Chain A
Amino acid sequence: MRQQHFEQAHAATWHRLESLLSVLEKRRVPPPAVPVQRLPRLLRSVGAHYAIARARGYSPGLVARLHSLVRRGYRQLHKPSQHWPRRMLGFVAGGFPRALRRHGCLFWLAAALFFGPMLAMGLACSADPTLIHSLVDSGQVASYEAMYDPTNRKLGRMPSRQTADDVMMFGFYVWNNLGIALRTFAWGLAAGVGSVFVLAMNGLVLGAVAGHLTQLGFGTPFWSFVSGHASLELTAIAVAGTAGLLLGRALLAPGRHTRAAALRANALQAVPLVLGAALMLVLAAVVEAFWSSSTLLPPAVKYAVGGAGWLLVAAYLGLAGRSRAAGQGPDDQA
Chain B
Amino acid sequence: MQEPAPDATHAAADAAPKARVAIDTLRRLETPEGIEILLRLAGPVPRAAAFSIDLLIRVGAYLVLLPLAALAGVGLGLLLLALFVLEWLYPVFFELRSGATPGKRAMGLTVVHADGTPVGPAASLLRNLLRAVDFLPVLYGVGLTAMLVDQDFRRLGDLAAGTLVVHREDAGLPPSLPAHRPLAPPAPLGLEAQQAILAFAERSGELSAARRTELAALSGLAAAGDRDPAGALLGIANWISRGKPD
User: Which residues of A does B touch, CB under 8 Å?
Assistant: 2-4, 7, 43-44, 47, 50-51, 54, 57-65, 67-68, 70-72, 74-75, 78-80, 164-172, 174-175, 178-179, 182-183, 185-187, 189-190, 194, 247, 260, 263-264, 267-268, 270-271, 274-275, 333-334
Contacts and interface: CB of A to CB of B under 8 A. Distances in A.
B225 interface: no
B238 to A, nearest CB: 9
Contacts of A64: 7, 170, 172-173
B195 A57 contact: yes
B169 A68 contact: yes
Given A68-B171, A175-B83, A63 B11 contact: yes
B129 A182 contact: yes
B35 A168 contact: no
B79 interface: yes
Given A61-B174, A271-B122, 9 more contacts: A61-B198, A64-B172, A67-B172, A78-B117, A78-B118, A165-B72, A172-B77, A178-B88, A264-B159
15 contacts: A51-B36, A58-B198, A60-B195, A61-B175, A68-B169, A74-B117, A75-B117, A167-B74, A167-B77, A174-B80, A178-B84, A264-B160, A267-B161, A271-B125, A274-B129
Contact of B37 (A67, A171, A263): A67
A186 B129 contact: yes
Nearest to B97: A28
Interface in B23-46: 31, 33-38
Which of B73, B77, B199 gathers most chain A CB within 10 Å? B77
B191 interface: yes
Contact of A168 (B72, B84, B243): B72
Contact of A72 (B74, B79, B169): B169
A316 to B, nearest CB: 22
B141 interface: no
Interface of B: 5, 7-8, 10-11, 14-15, 31, 33-38, 72-74, 76-81, 83-84, 87-88, 96, 99, 116-123, 125-126, 129-133, 156, 159-162, 169-175, 177, 191, 194-195, 198-199, 201-202, 237, 240-243
Smallest CB-CB A-B distances: 5 pairs: A165-B73, A64-B172, A171-B80, A171-B77, A59-B198
B201 A168 contact: no
A47 B31 CA distance: 10
B242 A168 contact: no
A178 B156 CA distance: 21
A3 B81 CA distance: 58
A271 B125 CA distance: 8
B201 A171 contact: no
B22 to A, nearest CB: 16
B76 A74 contact: no
A80 B96 contact: yes
B78 to A, nearest CB: 6
Contacts of A44: 33
Contacts of B199: 59-61
Given A59-B201, A60-B7, A168-B80, A74 B175 contact: no
Contacts of A183: 132
A25 B129 CA distance: 27
